[in-house]
Structure 1
Amino acid sequence: MKQLWLLPILLLCLAGCGMDQLVDDGHEEPEEVEIGEYKYEGRLLTLAVIGTGEFGTLTNITRHRLSSLDDLLKEAQLDYDAIFITKSAFQQASDPSYASFFNSVDIPVFFVEADEVGLWTFTNKEETLESARIENAGFIQGYWNASGDREWTAWSFPKPDGPEDNTVWVDVMSLIESLKE
C-alpha cells in the first residue's frame, strides 16, 4: 500500500518515453505545412529576398530580406537555395550593371509579380523594363544557370487564385528542393 504513490510517477515516466525528444544537432527539421491539398514536406530552404511584398505562408522557409541587390553582391559566398526578387526591386534589378550577375549566378533566381515583364529584361544589358513589357507572362518567373555558361533552365508559374492559394508557392519550393538533390 505504501508504494501506490509511486504508480502515478511510474506512469508519467513511461508516457514520456514515447515522446519525441528535441535534440539540438544544428539541423532544423522542416515543419509539415498543409495548404489545401498541397503540402511542402521538404527540407528547410534558405532564400534571399530582395524587395518588399508578401508571398506564400510556408513556415519552413527561412527568408533573408535584403534591402538591395548591392547587399547581395557584397556577400562573399551566396549560401542560399534561391534568390527571389519582388516587383518593388525590378527597377534596380533591370539596371544594366546587374546583367553580368544575373548571367553568371549559379543558384536559381525567381522574379515575383513578373506577369508583365520577360526574364531577358534582367540578363540583357540593352533591355529595359519599358522595352521588355509583355502580356500574360508568368506571375513567378525563374531560371537556373547551373553550368554558368548561360545554358539556362527557365520556369513560369501562374498567379495564385487569391491570398489563400499557396499551391504555386508549394510548387516553387518543391522545385527549388529538387534542384539540390
Structure 2
Amino acid sequence: MALVTVTEPARDYLAQLIEKQDVEGMGVRVFVTQPGTKHAETCLAYCPPNEVVPTDEKIDLEKFVLYLDHASVPFLEDAYVDYSKDQMGGQLTIKAPNAKVPNVDENAPLNDRINYVLASEINPGLASHGGEVSLVEVVEGSVAVLRFGGGCQGCSAVSLTLKQGVETTLIERVPEITGVRDVTDHSVKENAYYQ
C-alpha cells in the first residue's frame, strides 16, 4: 500500500476547495506524470465519482476520499502533502521523493539501484550547479560508466566531483560497485559551472 501522508491543514484546505465544487462525492486524485523520469511531476486533481477508476487505491481521509492512480502507486511511496498559510493566503506543497525513481531494494537489478542513488542522492546536489549525471552502463561487472551533463559537462571541478562525491556515494550505497568511469566529452565547455 502506497503511503501518502496528507497533513491536517492540507486536508482542511482540500476539503474547502472540494466544497466549492458542489459535486456530491467529489474526491481528490493523486498521480505522477512521466513517473520514473527526471521530468516526473506529482499532481493533485478533483476526482468526481464518474472519474473514479476501479484500479485506484482509495484512502478515506474522512473529509474526502483520496484516490491514488494505480500506475503511480510505486512512485508515491513516502509522498507528503502539506498546506501552510502565508501572507498571500497559503501554499499547498507536495513532496514525492520517489516520483522520479521508485524506491528500490537490494534485490533490484544493479542498474536500477545505481539509477536510484543517482536520482535520489547525487543529482539533487548537482542540480544546484545546473548539472546532472546518468548511468551509461556497467562494465567489467562492477564499474559504473557515467555521463555528466548540463553544468557538469566541461566543468574543471568534475574530476573532484566524480571521485569525492559520486564514486564515494555509489560505492557506499551499492556495494557491488568498485569504481566509476566518466565518458563525458569535457572539451565541450559552453554550459560548464566552473571553466
- TM-score, structure 2 length as denominator? 0.21
Larger Rg: 1
- TM-score, structure 1 length as denominator? 0.22
More strand by share: 2
